[in-house]
Structure 1
Amino acid sequence: MEFRPCIDLHDGKVKQIVGSTLGYQDKSVVENFISDYDAAYYAEMFKKDGLTGGHVIMLGTGNEEAAFLALKTYPNGLQIGGGITDENAKKYIDAGATHIIVTSFIFHDGKLDMERLEKLVQKVGKEHIVIDLSCRKRDGKWFVVTDKWTKFSDFEVNEASISEIEQYCDELLIHAVDVEGKRSGMQEELVQDLALWTSIPTTYAGGVRSLEDLQKFNNLSKGRLHVTIGSALDIFGGDLSYRKVVSFCETK
C-alpha cells in the first residue's frame, strides 16, 4: 500500500473541497480548507518525502499556472488531472507530469467514448494514462459519474469493465464520490470490490480520516490498493497527522 498525496487546485489556490458540490450553478461549493501556501510548497514537501504518484487536480479554470508550478517543482513525481483532452495531454507530460488523469473527456453523453480514449493513447501512450472511475452506487451497483460528479454514466464499475479498461491505461484512480471530502469514513464495500477486481495500480480516495481507518483500509484491500487522503490531513486543516500517515504507509 502506498500513500498517494494530492494537490487540489480551485481558483488558482490549493484547497480541499467537497467534490460533489462542484458543478452546480444553484449551489455553493463547500470548501473545507484554503491554504496559505502555493502548489509548489506541497510539491516540494512530497518530493522531500519521496512520495510518488500524487495527483494535482485542476478543479475548473484558472489553475494552469499553479499546476505547472507544481510540476516544475517536482518533475516526474506527480500526475495531473482536470480538463485533460487529447489536445492538451502531451503538454502536461512534457512539463513533467508522469501521467494524465481523465474522466469526463472519455465519458460523455453518459457513455464511454472509445474513440476518444484511443486518441489519448495515441497521443501520450497508455503508460502515461490514469483513468478516473469515480463512482456512486445506484440500484446496488457502482456507476461512473462525470461532469464534476453531477451526472451518472451508463458505465458500471465491475470486474468485467475494469478488466477491459485496464488495457488502455497504466493506473486507475477511484473516488468514492458520496464520502469524498466529508471525513465520514470510507466506503468499505467499494474498497473490497476494487481489491478483488483490479490488476494494475489503483488508488482509492474518499473518507479515510484516521490511522485506524488506514489500518482497516489495508486489511480490507489486503494491501492491494493505494490510498489518498485530503481534508482529514493536518496539512489541509484536518486532525490526521500527515507525518504519521507517511510513516504508517512506509511500513505496509
Structure 2
Amino acid sequence: MSAAGGVPPFIVFPAIDLKGGQVVRLAEGDMDRATVYGDDPAHQARLFAEQGSDFLHVVDLDGSFAGRAVNGAAIASIVAAFPGHVQLGGGIRDAQAVQGWFEVGVSRVVIGTAALKNPQFVKDMAAAYPGGIVVAVDARDGMIATDGWAEKSDMPVVDLARRFEDAGVASLLFTDVGRDGLLKGVNIEATVDLARAVDIPVIASGGVAGISDIRILSLHAGDGIEGVVTGRALYDGRLDLRTAIEVACAV
C-alpha cells in the first residue's frame, strides 16, 4: 500500500466501525454514545467500493475492549465484499490474531494497546509481515490512550511513535480521541507535528468535518501524512467520498 503501483500519495480511508455486528460511529470513543448507521457491514463496504474507494478502515470496537475479536463474522463478510485493501484494528494483541486476519484477507492490521504494553510484539510482527503492521497512536491531551481509549497513559505520543522508527511498521494511525466522531475538524497541527517528528508515514484520524480537512491534509503529503480516516462525515452526508478521493488523487 505504498505510493507505487497506482496507489495515490494521499489515501482516503472510509471507516466502518463495528459494535454488535452493526455499523456505528462513537463520540470520543465512548461506547455509550454510539450512533447506528446500518446492520449490514458488507453492504456498506460495497457502497464505499462503488463510490470509488480502494481502501477501507475497519474497527472491531467490541474487540478493542475485549482484547480479542468479537465481530469476526462481520469483518470476514466485509473482506469478502470489498475488492480493495482492508485495514483492520480492534483487540489485535497476539501473533495468532495477526496471522488469522491476514489469512482472512486483511491487507494491514492496526495494533494499539499492545504497542504501548508490549512493543517487542509489534516489532516482531512488523518483521514477520513487512508492510502489514500499523501502529495506532491514540491521544488524549497529547498522551497515549489505551484499552479502547478508556485509559490514558503517561506516555507522550511522540515518544511512543519513536519506539518504532526502525521496526519496519507501515504507518502510524494518529487519532485525537477528543475530536473523534464530533465533526470538529481534524487536529491538523498535531498530526503534521507528529509526521515531521518521525520517519514513519502518518494516517490522520478523528474529527473530519468536510472536504476542507481532506484538502488541507493532502497538502501535507510531503510532510509524511499518508492519508486520513473518515467516518461520521460520510455517514451524515457532510463529505462526499468521490469528491474526497478526487482531491486525494490530485496531490
So what's the TM-score if we normalise by structure 1?
A: 0.82
Would the aligned equivalents of 1:9 and 1:59 in 2 still touch at CA under 8 Å?
Answer: yes
Q: Does the alignment pair 1:67 with 2:75?
A: yes
Find the residue that maps to 1:5 and give its secondary structure. strand
Q: In the aligned structure 2, how far is the partner of 1:52 from the partner of 1:198?
A: 27
Unpaired runs of 5+ in structure 1?
23-28
Q: In the aligned structure 2, how far is the partner of 1:48 from the partner of 1:77?
A: 14
Name whichever structure is richer in strand by fraction. 2
User: Who is 2:27 aligned against?
Assistant: 18
Letter in 2 for 1:227: V
Q: In the aligned structure 2, how far is the partner of 1:164 from the partner of 1:149?
A: 20
Q: In the aligned structure 2, how far is the partner of 1:15 from the partner of 1:232?
A: 12
Aligned match for 1:116, one of 88, 103, 121: 121
Would the aligned equivalents of 2:181 and 2:232 in 1 still touch at CA under 8 Å?
Answer: yes
Aligned match for 1:125, one of 123, 129, 133: 129
**Bigger CA drift: 93-102 or 185-194?**
185-194
User: Who is 1:30 aligned against?
Assistant: 33
The aligned runs of 1:78-227 (5 Å cut-off) are 78-85=86-93, 86-108=95-117, 113-121=118-126, 124-137=128-141, 142-158=142-158, 161-168=160-167, 169-219=169-219, 224-225=224-225, 226-227=227-228
The alignment of Structure 1 onto Structure 2 pairs a total of residues equal to 233
The aligned runs of 1:4-15 (5 Å cut-off) are 4-15=13-24
Find the residue that maps to 1:15 and give its secondary structure. strand
Find the residue that maps to 1:97 and give its secondary structure. coil
Letter in 1 for 2:236: G
Letter in 2 for 1:127: G
Q: In the aligned structure 1, how far is the partner of 2:76 from the partner of 2:120?
A: 28
Q: In the aligned structure 1, how far is the partner of 2:185 from the partner of 2:123?
A: 36
Q: In the aligned structure 1, how far is the partner of 2:184 from the partner of 2:72?
A: 31
Q: Over residues 55-114 of structure 1, what are the superposed CA-to-partner deviations in whole Å (9 max), with x where a residue is unaligned?
A: 110001541110111112226610111111222111110111011111112323xxxx23
So what's the TM-score if we normalise by structure 2?
A: 0.82
Find the residue that maps to 1:66 and give its secondary structure. helix
Q: In the aligned structure 2, how far is the partner of 1:107 from the partner of 1:164?
A: 9
Would the aligned equivalents of 2:171 and 2:202 in 1 still touch at CA under 8 Å?
Answer: yes
